[in-house]
Structure 1
Amino acid sequence: MTSILQVLIDAFALGSLYALSALAIGLVFGIMRLINFAQGDLITIGGYALIVPSSQMVAELFIGDWPWVAMVPAIVAICVAAALLTERIAFRPIRDADPATLLITSFAVSFFIQNLILLVYTGRPKAAGIFPGLSQSVTLAEGLTVPGIQLVTSAVAIVLLAGLAFFLKRTRTGTEMRAVAEDFTMARLLGVRSNRVIMLAFALAGALAGTVAVLLVAQTGVLDFRMGVFLAVYAFFATVLGGMNSLVGAAVGGYVVGGLSVVLQAFLPDDLRPYRDAFLFGIVILLLLWRPQGLVVGKAGRERV
Structure 2
Amino acid sequence: MTLSIFMQYLTNGISLGSLYALIAIGYTMVYGILKLINFAHGDIFMMAAYFAFFGVATFGLPWYFAFIIAIVITAVLGMLIEFTAYRPLRSAPKISILISAIGVSFLLENLAVVLFGGRPKAFPTPKIFTDVVVIGGVSIQNVTFIIPIVTVILLFALLYLVNKTNVGMAMRAVSKDVETARLMGISVNKIISFTFAIGSALAAVGSMMWSVKYPQIIATMGIIPGLKCFIAAVIGGIGDIKGAVIGGFILGISEIMIIGFLPGLTGYRDALAFILLIVILLFKPTGIMGKNLAEKV
Give the TM-score, by structure 2 length. 0.93
Distance 1:164 1:96, change over 3 A: same
Letter in 2 for 1:182: K
Match of 1:34 in 2: 36
1:176–1:192 contact (8 Å) kept in structure 2? yes
Which residue among 96, 114, 125 is the counterpart of 2:120?
125
Give the TM-score, by structure 1 length. 0.91
1:28–1:202 contact (8 Å) kept in structure 2? yes
Matched, 1:62 2:65: no
Letter in 2 for 1:170: K
Runs of 5+ in structure 2 lacking a partner?
Answer: none
Secondary structure at the aligned position of 2:222 is classed as: helix
Which residue among 256, 261, 266 is the counterpart of 1:262?
256
Q: What whole-Å deviation, never above 9, does each CA across 1:47-66 have from its counterpart, x for those lacking one?
A: 1113449xxxxxx9125x32
Match of 2:270 in 1: 277
Which residue among 136, 155, 163 is the counterpart of 1:169?
163
1:138–1:148 contact (8 Å) kept in structure 2? yes
Report the Cα distance in structure 2 between the residues aligned to 1:237 and 1:72, rounded to whole angstroms.
27
Q: What whole-Å deviation, never above 9, does each CA across 1:88-137 have from its counterpart, x for those lacking one?
A: 11111111111111111001001111111111122111112221331221
Report the Cα distance in structure 2 between the residues aligned to 1:215 and 1:115, rounded to whole angstroms.
23
Matched, 1:221 2:215: yes
Match of 2:136 in 1: 142
Q: CA deviation at 1:272?
A: 2.7
Q: What whole-Å deviation, never above 9, does each CA across 1:130-175 have from its counterpart, x for those lacking one?
A: 2133122112x32122111111111100100011011111101011
Letter in 2 for 1:156: V
Which residue among 243, 247, 252 is the counterpart of 1:253?
247
Secondary structure at the aligned position of 1:84 is classed as: helix
Report the Cα distance in structure 1 between the residues aligned to 2:85 and 2:92, rounded to whole angstroms.
12
RMSD of aligned Cα (Å) = 1.8
2:85–2:104 contact (8 Å) kept in structure 1? yes
Letter in 1 for 2:110: N
Q: CA deviation at 1:304?
A: 5.8
Percent pairwise identity: 31
2:71–2:204 contact (8 Å) kept in structure 1? yes
Report the Cα distance in structure 1 between the residues aligned to 2:39 and 2:247, rounded to whole angstroms.
17
